[in-house]
Amino acid sequence: MPGPMNIFDIAGRAMSAQLVRLNTTASNLANAGSISSSKETAFRALKPVFQSVGDRPGVATVNVASIVEGGGDPVKRHMPGHPLADANGDVWEANVDTAAELVEMVESARQYENNVQVLQTVKTLTLDTLRLGQ
């Protein structure tokens, strides 16, 4: 990153990381209980991996290093009448923990708000500093 990291970089990048987290939560919730015809193609919950990036000790922002597929294995269900059922009459249902995802959603929304607050405070203080002596 060119030049030293300022608070706008710190809070701004943290906000985009939280937004990635909110996006993965939304796709997990949207795919909760979705059915697939094989274990391999069944949806698995997505999780972002956060990593801190910094240039000076104590001054660091956050980056999404990668998005991994996690969570439990898809659940096998015996539903012979289902159009996606395989030869044995089984389907695989995505194993998404909806309660955990909802908690995750609230948490990332709160942390996003915190970063917005930081940005607002810093903006006001920077403008006040610019007006110093006028």
Partner 1 sequence: MADGQSLFGIHAAALALRSQRMSMLASNIANAATPGYKARDIDFDRALDLASRGVATGEAADEATAYRVPVTPSLDGNTVELSTEQTLFAENAVQYRSTLAFLQGRIATITRALKGD
List residues near partner 1 by CB under 8 A. Answer: 5-7, 10-11, 13-14, 17-18, 21, 50-52, 54, 57-62, 107-108, 110-111, 114-115, 117-118, 121-122, 125, 128-129, 132-133
Q: Is 131 helix (H, G, I), strand (E, B) or coil?
A: coil
User: What's the closest the beta carbon of residue 27 comes to partner 1, in angstroms?
Assistant: 18
- CA triple 55-52-5, angle to 5 deg: 35
For the CB of residue 78, give the shortest distance to partner 1 in the complex, in Å. Answer: 37
Choose between 22 and 35: whose C-beta lies nearer to partner 1: 22
Q: How far is the CB of 31 from partner 1 (least distance, A)?
A: 22
State whether the Cα torsion 24-29-33-34 is positive or negative: negative
CA 76 to CA 3: how far, in whole Å? Answer: 53
For partner 1, the closer of residues 5 and 85 by Cβ is: 5
**Residue found by looking up tokens 């996690």 in the block:** 70
Q: At closest approach, how far in Å is the CB of 102 from partner 1?
A: 16
Task: Give the residue among 38, 24, 40, 5 at the shortest CA–CA distance from 96.
Answer: 24
